[in-house]
Structure 1
Amino acid sequence: MEQFLGIDYASWWFMIIGAVFTGYAILDGFDLGAGALHLFFNKEESRRIALNAIGPVWDGNEVWLVIGGGALFAGFPKVYAAVFSAFYVPFMLFLTVLIFRAISIEFRSKEPMLWWRKMWDVAYCLSSSAIAFLLGVVLGNILLGIPVDRDGNFTGDLLYFLNPYALMVGITTLALFMMHGAIYLVMKTEDRLYAKLTIMVRDTTIFFSISVLLLSFYTLLYVPHLTNNIRQNPWMFLIPVIMVFNIAHITRQVAKRKYLLAFISSCITVSLLLIIVAIELYPNMLISTLDPAYSITVHNGSSSSKSLGIMLTVAAIGVPLVVAYTTFVFWTFKGKVKLDETSY
């Protein structure tokens, strides 16, 4: 297989897809976290401010999910086919709540009736929480492995996905996004809502810290294959160590009320967690629990070298443009939220 800088094209594409999904987790993560916290705000003004904090960016953030899905299809069609057929029901549920979340944001302020707004508030909160949880459940099952045969066909049932490990990953993902969202909201608010969010940031940070600690213990005790690469390459142990110190840094900055630094550390935590996921999986992309020989790897599930080479060139041009646009949007809408007649 052709190489670039000593790394084969398939591995480069694996890293690019990982980077795109990391961008999605960082960007849409705080949107989803803000939505999961929405019902904790009691006042109408507080809920409107929280909605308008993500209003200019939430739909653009979801573009990264579309890019990730397209990149997976282009770079690893076998993986795409196996994953989307195996997780058909969870993905349909995911798509449904994704649609409900979008409509909730757009429809909530279209009518002044109290029941109308409360209905969409509940839909927004539940759909945001469900998306975060489902993303974690899917990730947990991919890490654990699923029963796929030599042709990539899923041989299990829907209940197979609801295993303890996947549920724990789902809860941890929700906790991570809630912390991420609370830190983002506290940077965008002021006065009494700011004071309330300082407490919520502390509580969600504790929730995430406990969740990731329990998940780590469970992984070490009951899912030993996920630590093989780190055991074989001791230098990789630095990555989880850095992650632990980074989480501690979040709590330190939260205590000092330096929320921008806490948010940067939260973004780094998301990145490090997904880097650990990539290390745990590589070179596998979909582990078969029926027979390791049936697993789909970076190399046996990729497109041709020529296709990967062409797409790497396209990605080298396109991804920086998306990053530049995203940066421009955030820069344009920086600062505290101020409500006006155009607000949600």
Structure 2
Amino acid sequence: MDLNILWFILVAVLFIGFFILEGFDYGVGILLPIMGKTDTERRVVINTVGPVWDGNEVWVLTAGGAIFAAFPHWYATLFSGFYLALFLMLVALIIRAVAFEYRSKAEDPKWRAWWDRGIVFGSLIPAILWGVALGNMLRGVPIDADMHYVGTFFDLLNPYAIIGGLTSLSMFLLHGAIFLNLKTSGELSERALHLTRRIGPVTTVMVAIFIVSTYLMTDSFSRLGVNPGPIPIASLGALFAAAYFVHIGRLGWAFLMTSVNIGLSVITIFMALFPRVMVSSLDPAWSLTIYNASSSPKTLTIMSIVALIFIPIVLAYQTWTYWVFRHRISIESELTY
């Protein structure tokens, strides 16, 4: 296989893993004040993701490193053009990480309340901005012939990108609500199920709007790229399947379906982009592709060997982590602890 295509696929796979795993992290963080009415309940909610949230973020770090090494021009244009948005996301993620670590350092309710707000803020902002970023990559941003972003921060706040941000937010909220149902018990589990049933229809509508908007507001399915065919429809169908499994009380299958929905959504976006990685709204000929934005063949070859060795190790370790922390968490266990 062409190594440029291989690394484009690998970057897509890394983002699929990141959005599936970190997606429920974001959802849990945003739902924290709704799910947790008392300090003990909030501790339970936080501890559902406590052992895994930082490991989940490794996926996006790896994806960023892969883009930097395999497609340096993509990395340079993306990070310079989206600088303010990515800086805001980084600040939010730092606040979130610090909040997870420092929340329990003091018994003062005000102390914990402020760190809880930090968790909500640090989960909400990335959940929106990832959708905004992907939306802009699909729709196109001002990129000149030298691969330089020549727009402003406000160029990124267009209707299509905002729809993308609201869609990613709703998807992660649903994913997180179902995860909380699986990881908690008693009243908390029932509360998560109630939230799941309220969020599900909103998410389905937002995904449908995003699909229609992609057809109407981008050139993804009419010009360059690969026609995704039934994949966007299958993504929407996965949400209907999730609703069915929620209705019959099979939340494990519902979580699998929201994971499928997220995965197929990312596949749709990358297939719609291919062979581009960023679309120029000034001139389609100035778009960045997997060829004009890539590293040398030698670099891609070395990276492929390294990836072949280390990715299975990372996958094995993370699988083991999830297996160790697979049990439900209850209020009683937190009080005992």
Note whether the superposition's TM-score is higher than 0.5.
Answer: yes
| CA 1:229–1:54: 2 relative to 1, 3 Å | farther
Verify: 1:306 aligned to 2:298, yes or no: yes
For 2:302 and 2:315, how far apart are their aligned partners in 1? 20
| CA 1:129–1:232: 2 relative to 1, 3 Å | closer
Q: Which runs of 4+ in 1 moved over 4 A?
A: 229-233, 340-343
Residue 219 of structure 1: aligned partner: 214
Residue 4 of structure 1: aligned partner: none
Verify: 1:104 aligned to 2:137, yes or no: no
For 2:274 and 2:185, how far apart are their aligned partners in 1? 44
For residues 320-331 of structure 1, the aligned pairs below 5 Å read 320-331=312-323
Deviations 1:141-180 (A, max 9, x none): 1111110111111111111111111111001001000011
Please state how far the C-alpha of 1:241 moved relative to its aligned partner: 2.8
Residue 47 of structure 2: aligned partner: 52
Determine which of 63, 67, 89 is the counterpart of 2:62.
67
For 1:68 and 1:112, how far apart are their aligned partners in 2? 38
Please state how far the C-alpha of 1:125 moved relative to its aligned partner: 0.8
Verify: 1:319 aligned to 2:314, yes or no: no
Please state how far the C-alpha of 1:207 moved relative to its aligned partner: 1.7
Contact 1:283 1:297 (C-alpha < 8 Å) held by counterparts: yes
| CA 1:262–1:142: 2 relative to 1, 3 Å | same
Verify: 1:126 aligned to 2:137, yes or no: no
Aligned length: 334
List alignment gaps of at least 5 residues for structure 1.
1-6
Residue 156 of structure 2: aligned partner: 161
RMSD: 1.6
Residue 38 of structure 1: aligned partner: 32
Determine which of 296, 310, 334 is the counterpart of 2:326.
334
For residues 1-344 of structure 1, the aligned pairs below 5 Å read 7-41=1-35, 42-223=37-218, 225-228=219-222, 233=227, 236-338=228-330, 339-340=333-334
Contact 1:135 1:173 (C-alpha < 8 Å) held by counterparts: yes
**Secondary structure, in 3 states, of the residue corresponding to 2:230?**
helix
Contact 2:44 2:334 (C-alpha < 8 Å) held by counterparts: no
Letter in 2 for 1:278: F
**Secondary structure, in 3 states, of the residue corresponding to 2:277?**
strand
| CA 1:298–1:285: 2 relative to 1, 3 Å | same
TM-score norm. by structure 1 comes to 0.94
Contact 2:139 2:217 (C-alpha < 8 Å) held by counterparts: no
For 1:292 and 1:56, how far apart are their aligned partners in 2? 45
For 2:162 and 2:277, how far apart are their aligned partners in 1? 20
For 2:294 and 2:83, how far apart are their aligned partners in 1? 21
For 1:231 and 1:61, how far apart are their aligned partners in 2? 30
Please state how far the C-alpha of 1:189 moved relative to its aligned partner: 0.6
For 2:296 and 2:43, how far apart are their aligned partners in 1? 49
For 2:61 and 2:217, how far apart are their aligned partners in 1? 33
Contact 2:32 2:120 (C-alpha < 8 Å) held by counterparts: yes
Deviations 1:221-276 (A, max 9, x none): 222x121269975xx42222322321111000011111111111111111100110
Deviations 1:73-110 (A, max 9, x none): 01000100111110111111111000000111111111
Task: Report which stretch shifted further, 33-42 or 214-223.
Answer: 214-223
| CA 1:90–1:206: 2 relative to 1, 3 Å | same
Letter in 2 for 1:293: A
| CA 1:232–1:120: 2 relative to 1, 3 Å | closer
Give % identity: 37
**Secondary structure, in 3 states, of the residue corresponding to 2:196?**
helix
Please state how far the C-alpha of 1:116 moved relative to its aligned partner: 1.0
